[in-house]
Amino acid sequence: MIAAALLTGTPAVHAADQLSNALEQHGIVTDVHGGYGVAVVSVWVDLLVWTDGFVYHWWAGQFSGRSRRRLYTVYTVDNPAAAARCVAHRYEELQQGYPVSPLLHGDPL
């Protein structure tokens, strides 16, 4: 995937591909989509990691106390392995609330 990002020349897609590759080291399969100068790494239900090529950010699963706005985790793209560790932690939290479908496991219904 990194070669494809380098060919397109977009820093956002390149950064998203680096994060996707780092998440593979945690056993997490993702999809990367880019356009209009940004890219998104689709990880799980309620876990999309956005990047502009400078930072990664994703919803931390919390709301601010006063305004009730979503709180986001932000990491620079210079260390995708560290960002991947945090995303993997959030992924584990979300899997408890949204388990894998039996169809994805190949289990009989």
State mean pLDDT over 91-106: 75
pLDDT digits (tens, 9 = 90+) for 63-79: 999 999 999 999 999 99
State mean pLDDT over 19-27: 98
Neighbours of 10 (CB within 10 A): 19
What does the alpha-carbon distance between residue 66 and residue 98 come to, in Å, rounded to a whole number? 27
Distance set, CA 61 to CA 55, 58, 69, 91 (Å): 18, 9, 11, 11
Decide: 57 and 73 in contact? Cβ < 8 Å.
yes
Tell me the three state secondary structure of residue 80. Answer: helix
The confidence band for 102, taking pLDDT boundaries of 50, 70 and 90, is low
Identify the pLDDT of residue 46. 92
Q: Is the pTM of this model over 0.75?
A: yes
Residue 3 above 60 pLDDT? no
State mean pLDDT over 28-39: 96
The confidence band for 101, taking pLDDT boundaries of 50, 70 and 90, is low
